[in-house]
Amino acid sequence: MRIKQVELSVIEQPLKVPFHTSYGTYVQRESIIIKMIEDSGAIGYGEVVAFSEPWYTEETIQTALHVLDLFLIPLILEKDIIHPSEASELFKCFKGHHMAKAGLEGALWDLYSKQQNLSLANALGGSCDAIPVGVVVSLANTEKMIQQIKQYEQEGYERFKVKVDKKRDYEIVSTIREHFPDISLMIDANSAYTIKDIDQLKRLDEFKLLMIEQPFGDREFIEHAELQKEMKTSICLDESIHCIEDVKLAIALGACRIINVKPGRVGGLTESLKIHDLALKHHIPLWVGGMIETGISRVQNIALASLPGFTIPGDISASSRHFEEDIIHPDVQLQNGKVLVPQEAGIGVEVDEERIDRLTKLKRRY
Ligand SMILES: [Mg+2]
């Protein structure tokens, strides 16, 4: 593959339901869509999933634009690339900026699998046709959360994740369990707790949660290991895992029993595959996390989740969970609690360029 042009579109889409974070509330989602054109005219698409502000990791839309523009795009333009994994090797000379790197690498994976006439799932090593998926329930008063779960259960979701508020964790989880004694339920703490809260967290053991995701800070491997020793409930790491070395550390310390993989956070699909293989060897179940992304990342995540190590339903909800309209056709839909893995070559869906143009705030061509 010889890349002759890269186009970046910064888009902004309204969210159907506001998204609450430790930073604040989002009603719009900015993203960078990458369109890569190869010498033969073939097109690959990728997406940078960074948020507008650096609350999840240090990256933002603006830092990604800066790094793509000055450092990463010049590394791949007019280069002969046989396999997308070469990109992560090329990018190694620049530290960090995983989401910017993953966006470009994703477009290369799309191009590569189109060239090989393989679906992205097959190119990555996945084989199943459909995957079960989970959904995130927004933090609200408990009555509203119960209503949301009822609705999502009817829609067919198989795993429910609740973002908890440290002050209301017991109240929220116990009320949900009273109404839904058997659903597959987990909580995501997004680092809201500290090691001093071990006793508070241990009280949640009685609710048979599928897992507690990222209770402590992202570098607190030792603290997570201490908690995991004390709790029956599995601890899952999300923000802590930036690369395969973090997985090795977590395994060595016993810091978790489950790992959430987000290709953007770990620098791309190639690193995600390395993590997959290591976790499989150590019997650590994986699931694919979500970043409120557009259909382009959504179908990449579905392809990744079709690999055998991804045994827990991921945060890969239908397009309609977040957006009135997606930028891909067909959009991601739920069928009997599952989403279908696209079978066409590459990401396997059509990208709606007209809609991207309508949503675009800034466009750059290289
Ligand atoms: Mg999380």
pLDDT in tens, 39-92: 999 999 999 999 999 989 999 999 999 999 999 999 999 999 999 999 999 999
Residue 211 to residue 214: CA distance in whole angstroms:
10
> What residues sit around ligand 1, an ion, with C-beta below 5 angstroms?
188, 213, 238
User: Would you state the pLDDT for residue 22?
Assistant: 66
Is residue 129 located within the same domain as residue 50?
Answer: no
Is residue 341 located within the same domain as residue 357?
Answer: no
- pLDDT tops 90 at residue 190: no
Is residue 327 located within the same domain as residue 179?
Answer: yes
**Is residue 238 annotated as involved in ligand binding?**
yes
- pLDDT tops 90 at residue 195: yes
Rounded to 5°, the CA angle 151-152-153 comes to 90
Residue pair 291/316 in contact by the 8 Å Cβ criterion: no
Instruction: Read off the pTM.
Output: 0.95
Residue 286 to residue 278: CA distance in whole angstroms:
11
**pLDDT tens sequence across 332-356:** 998 888 999 999 999 999 999 999 9
**Is residue 213 annotated as involved in ligand binding?**
yes
Is residue 356 located within the same domain as residue 343?
Answer: no
Half-sphere exposure of 82 (CA within 13 A, CB side): 0
Is residue 133 located within the same domain as residue 84?
Answer: no
What is the tally of structural domains in the chain? 2
Is residue 255 located within the same domain as residue 142?
Answer: yes
Residues annotated catalytic, as ranges: 163, 262
**Is residue 277 annotated as involved in ligand binding?**
no
Give the Å distance between the CA of 188 and the centre of ligand 1: 6
**Mean pLDDT across the stretch 21-27?**
79
**pLDDT tens sequence across 216-241:** 999 999 999 999 999 999 999 999 99
- pLDDT tops 90 at residue 26: no
Is residue 160 located within the same domain as residue 90?
Answer: no
**pLDDT tens sequence across 110-141:** 999 999 999 999 999 999 999 999 988 888 88
Is residue 84 located within the same domain as residue 200?
Answer: no
Give the Å distance between the CA of 3 and the centre of ligand 1: 34
Is residue 173 located within the same domain as residue 187?
Answer: yes
- Strand-pairing partners, residue 144, are none
Give the Å distance between the CA of 189 and the centre of ligand 1: 7
Any idea what the CATH number is for the domain that residue 53 is in? 3.30.390.10
Is residue 300 located within the same domain as residue 207?
Answer: yes
Is residue 357 located within the same domain as residue 335?
Answer: no
Half-sphere exposure of 121 (CA within 13 A, CB side): 23
Is residue 214 located within the same domain as residue 265?
Answer: yes
Give the Å distance between the CA of 118 and the centre of ligand 1: 31
Give the Å distance between the CA of 124 and the centre of ligand 1: 24
The residue range of the domain holding 25 is 3-117+351-365
Any idea what the CATH number is for the domain that residue 316 is in? 3.20.20.120
